[in-house]
Amino acid sequence: MGRPPCCDKIGVKKGPWTPEEDIILVSYIQEHGPGNWRAVPTNTGLRRCSKSCRLRWTNYLRPGIKRGNFTEKEEKMIIHLQALLGNRWAAIASYLPQRTDNDIKNYWNTHLKKKLKKLEEGQDGQNTSSLVGFSSNSTSSTSSHNSNKGQWERRLQTDIHMAKQALCEALSIEKPELLPSPSPSPIYASSAENIARLLENWKTRKPNSGASSSSSPQESMTQNFNEELKPVQSFYSNSNSSTTTDDSHQSVSAEAEAAQQVPLSLLEKWLFEEGVNMMDMSLDADHDQTDQIDLF
DNA sequence: AAGGTCCTCAACCGCAACGGA
DNA sequence: ATCCGTTGCGGTTGAGGACCT
């Protein structure tokens, strides 16, 4: 059975998003919330398919996204998680709430892979046990690894999840929502410096710079931008503070603030310490997995 | 300065998974 | 149980900037 295209290909715009499109999308989502992506192009007049809108939001516009400048900790975390989970970028990203799966995937493919390869080559002839784990999933896994992978991964993930739940319960008396969770719950963290900058840049541009046709829904939205920008901009500009007046903004900002205050260091500490320990325990039973765990 | 090559990353594509009818 | 629409995910691509000659 032929799968229908996700969108009508005729008249659908592709390629880089313009600031105007970004703002239309942001203002729409700010009003209606993410989801029901099918309706987004129709309701906004954006000549983009729903998929493109969702991707743009999740990978770029969504508040709380940190872009570029991966820290050493993040690098190690990604490497560690990649060794544990393989190329399951969404799962890895769930442990790095400020990073998108796409970003992590790109960073892995463009930086970390090479870095690890270099390190591996540099340590050729020496004991490379600390690197085996890094590259085993990304390059070639042993057959024994493959045969046990599903089993030990499932067990590991269950262990991790249970441990995290316990940890969460232990620490969540005051702020249970602060712990990042592997579950892909949407996080409306603040930051969004990109958006704030985008809005600033957009505002300094000539009005109507993006409007081409006179009667499109897009233009009608564009014409209302000055008004629409107010809540959007306050949404983003206030997201670093907890003071917003509108209720919806408040809840969003509260989540934003909470997400920004995620005690990553605690998580990371736990992940690196307990994760490694758990892996040791979990994988000891699976024999040849152990040399992948001696990561750091 | 100009042309060529390399590198990065935003965005696309297609399949999988999920949930409702 | 099956179909169908929607969303999520991972692999891949290509535009454009950075770097090299």
Nucleotides of C under 7 A from a protein CB: 4-12, 15-16
Other beta carbons less than 10 A from residue A212's beta carbon: 9
CA-to-CA separations, A236 to A159, A191, A225, A241, A283, in angstroms, rounded: 37, 8, 15, 10, 45
At A182-237, the pLDDT tens digits run 433 333 333 345 555 555 555 544 444 333 333 444 444 444 444 545 545 554 45
pTM exceeding 0.85: no
Structure confidence at residue A195 (pLDDT): 55
At A218-233, the pLDDT tens digits run 444 444 444 545 545 5
Distant-in-sequence, close-in-space partners of A204: CB < 8 Å, separation ≥ 6 = none
Amino acid residing at A45: G
Token reading at A180: 């990042």
CA-to-CA separations, A166 to A41, A58, A154, in angstroms, rounded: 42, 29, 18
Q: How far is the CA of A15 from the C1' of B2 (A)?
A: 28
For chain A, give the mean pLDDT. 58
Token reading at A165: 């739940």
Interatomic CA distance for residues A248 and A241, integer angstroms: 15
The CA angle A95-A63-A43, to the nearest 5 degrees, is 120
Q: What is the dihedral of CA A91, A92, A93, A96, to 10 degrees?
A: 130
Q: How far is the CA of A24 from the C1' of B4 (A)?
A: 39
Q: Spell out residues with C-beta < 7 A from strand B.
A: A 3, 6, 13-17, 48, 51-52, 55-56, 59-60, 67-68, 102-103, 105-107, 109-111, 114
Interatomic CA distance for residues A133 and A279, integer angstroms: 12
Q: Spell out residues with C-beta < 7 A from strand C.
A: A 1, 4, 6, 15-16, 35-38, 50-51, 54-55, 58, 87-91, 101-102, 105-106, 109, 184
Q: Which residue is closest to B10 in terms of CA–C1' distance?
A: A16
